[in-house]
Amino acid sequence: MFDTALTSSDFLFLARGAGMTLLVTAISVVLGTCLGIACGIFRFQVGPWWAAPMTFLLDIFRSIPLLIQLVLVNAFLGMVLKLKISGFSVACGVLTLYTAAYCAEIVRGAIEAVPGTTRRAARSLGLTWWQDMTSIVLPLATRVALPSWIGLALGVMKDSALVYIVQVTELLKATQILITRLQEPLLLLMICGLFYFVISFPLARLGGYLERRWSND
């Protein structure tokens, strides 16, 4: 007969960890996507030479492992600047910049995928740059960018497991705490994986639904 020391309180502890994972992911993805869209449009609009400083900065966040970024930013803010900033704020800030760095490249590539003839036709009809961008370019670019953005959002959700390093008790950290106390790693890791699946599955299915719907338009 199956026997476990896991209690309802332990399960709620895991659920709170999952809630923290969702919160950190949601804040980082929303803010990072907004910042990434702005950076992607800027890079496309001004060209590679003028955008070189921004590109270099974004490449830093794409190239350095996220764990190292979290450690360095947390240490710099606390030990060098002597700022008392919570681990949650550090985690959200670093993940936001990390998301923006990848999202900017996705947006730039998606905008470049819009045919130049389409943009010239829009401008010939008297549309302003803003009207052209919001009514023509971005709707078309969204279809190109969506699959990559879905993958990015899911990746950020899983990468949020690294924020334990700045004392944020997300889902994986909560699981590790219970494993240390209960000594039931297999069961707890299975429950942890189930939580991750429940969190990520709806987003993946939504992306697939939108792709199918747009491909039939």
Tokens for 79? Answer: 């030990």
Q: How far is CA 209 from CA 7, 66, 158, 201, 206, in A?
A: 38, 31, 22, 12, 5
pLDDT given at position 174 = 93
In CATH, 8-215 is 1.10.10.10 = no
Angle separating helix axes 138-159 and 87-112, nearest 10 degrees: 150
The whole-angstrom separation of Cα 108 and Cα 149 is 12
pLDDT given at position 215 = 66
In DSSP notation, 74-136 reads: HHIIIIIS-----HHHHHHHHHHHHHHHHHHHHHHHHHHTS-HHHHHHHHHTT--HHHHIIII
Sign of CA dihedral 130, 134, 137, 142: positive
- Tens-binned pLDDT, residue by residue, of the chain (217 aa): 457 778 888 889 999 999 999 999 999 999 999 999 999 999 988 888 888 899 899 999 999 999 999 999 999 988 888 888 899 999 999 999 999 999 999 999 999 998 888 878 877 888 888 888 888 888 889 888 988 999 999 999 999 999 999 989 999 999 999 999 888 889 899 999 999 999 888 888 887 787 777 766 6
Question: Which amino acid type is present at position 180?
Answer: T
DSSP assigned state of 161: G
Q: How far is CA 192 from CA 73, 145, 214, in A?
A: 28, 30, 34
pLDDT given at position 103 = 96
Single pTM value for the model: 0.89
pLDDT given at position 1 = 45
Long-range contacts of the stretch 76-84 (C-beta < 8 A, 24+): none
Tokens for 185? Answer: 């790693």
